[in-house]
């Protein structure tokens, strides 16, 4: 395993080394020590790397990830896994605002809590949160799955499109056009798979499903005021 120490090298050099890794490499394991809350760490990876960051990170860690597995042993600042395309990002601690924003694919696991706007405008990403999420989570979420093992803040799923929300606890309030939906066998199966992949010890039967009432899909004069 190759080790990068941010106390002795620059962030730009680290990202260049990770981004320059070819797709056919046999040496895929990397670790980063002394991240010191650096922003934009391990962004834009496009190879099947396995990167472990020992410590907490700043803004946009693992942004635009493709194919790589990135583990953060601490907590992550705003925008972790933003615009993620594929692969896996695991945050062992908590995540700040808009985790997984605009994500197109892959799996984001947050073992602690996530702050406001988790999964905002998600476009296919799967997000599993072991604790609570803040207000306006899954705002304008278009596609994908957000699994919340704890509680949710106000305006959950506001203006949601076709994403699926699974909540084990309670929501302080639902956003515009977000309603509770029937949990059918196919949803229980989907949720069981997501919980298993995320390593979460929770029963799918304890969750409720939420999604779009599709009342905002077409113009209504009553919604113009």
**Digitized pLDDT (tens) for each residue of the chain, 225 residues in all:** 899 999 999 999 999 999 987 666 667 899 999 999 999 999 999 999 999 999 999 999 999 999 999 999 999 999 999 999 999 999 999 999 999 999 999 999 999 999 999 999 999 999 999 999 999 999 999 999 999 999 999 999 999 999 999 999 999 999 999 999 999 999 999 999 999 999 999 999 999 999 999 988 776 777 665
- On whether residue 11 sits in a domain, the answer given is yes
| Helix or strand (DSSP H, E) at 211 | strand 208-212
How are beta strands 123-129 and 50-54 bridged, if at all? unpaired
| Structural domain boundaries, residue 88 | 2-200+207-214
CATH number where 97 lies: 2.160.20.60
8 Å CB contact between 115 and 137: no
What pLDDT was estimated at residue 223?
63
- On whether residue 222 sits in a domain, the answer given is no
What pLDDT was estimated at residue 152?
98
How are beta strands 164-167 and 2-5 bridged, if at all? unpaired
- On whether residue 107 sits in a domain, the answer given is yes
Tens digits of residue pLDDT in 192-207 = 999 999 999 999 999 9
Number of domains in the chain: 1
- On whether residue 59 sits in a domain, the answer given is yes
Radius of gyration in angstroms for the set of CA atoms belonging to the chain, rounded to a whole number: 18
- On whether residue 219 sits in a domain, the answer given is no
Closest CA to 118 of 148, 90, 149: 148
Mapping DSSP to helix (H, G, I), strand (E, B) and coil, where does residue 68 land? coil
8 Å CB contact between 106 and 123: no
Tens digits of residue pLDDT in 4-35 = 999 999 999 999 999 987 666 667 899 999 99
- On whether residue 162 sits in a domain, the answer given is yes
- On whether residue 148 sits in a domain, the answer given is yes
**Cβ contacts of 42 within 8 Å, gap of 6 or more:** 14, 15, 18, 32, 51, 53, 61, 62, 65, 68, 70
- On whether residue 186 sits in a domain, the answer given is yes
């Amino acid at each position: 395993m190759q080790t990068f120490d941010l106390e002795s090298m620059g962030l730009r050099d680290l990202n260049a080394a990770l981004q320059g890794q070819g797709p056919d490499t046999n040496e895929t394991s990397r670790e980063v020590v002394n991240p010191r809350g650096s922003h934009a760490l391990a962004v834009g990876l496009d190879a099947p790397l396995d990167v472990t960051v020992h410590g907490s990170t700043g803004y946009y860690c693992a942004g635009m990830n493709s194919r790589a597995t990135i583990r953060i042993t601490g907590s992550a600042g705003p925008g972790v896994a933003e615009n993620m395309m594929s692969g896996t990002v695991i945050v062992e601690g908590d995540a700040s605002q808009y985790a997984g924003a605009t994500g197109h694919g892959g799996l984001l696991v947050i073992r602690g809590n996530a702050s406001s706007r988790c999964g905002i405008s998600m476009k296919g990403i799967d997000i599993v949160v072991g604790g609570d999420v803040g207000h306006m989570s899954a705002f304008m979420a278009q596609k994908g799955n957000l699994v919340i093992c704890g509680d949710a803040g106000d305006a959950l799923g506001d203006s949601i499109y076709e994403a699926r929300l699974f909540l084990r606890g309670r929501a302080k309030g639902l956003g515009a056009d977000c309603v509770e939906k029937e949990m059918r066998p196919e949803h229980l199966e989907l949720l069981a798979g997501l919980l298993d992949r995320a390593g979460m010890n929770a029963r799918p039967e304890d969750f409720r499903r939420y999604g779009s009432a599709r009342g905002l899909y077409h113009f209504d004069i009553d919604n113009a005021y």
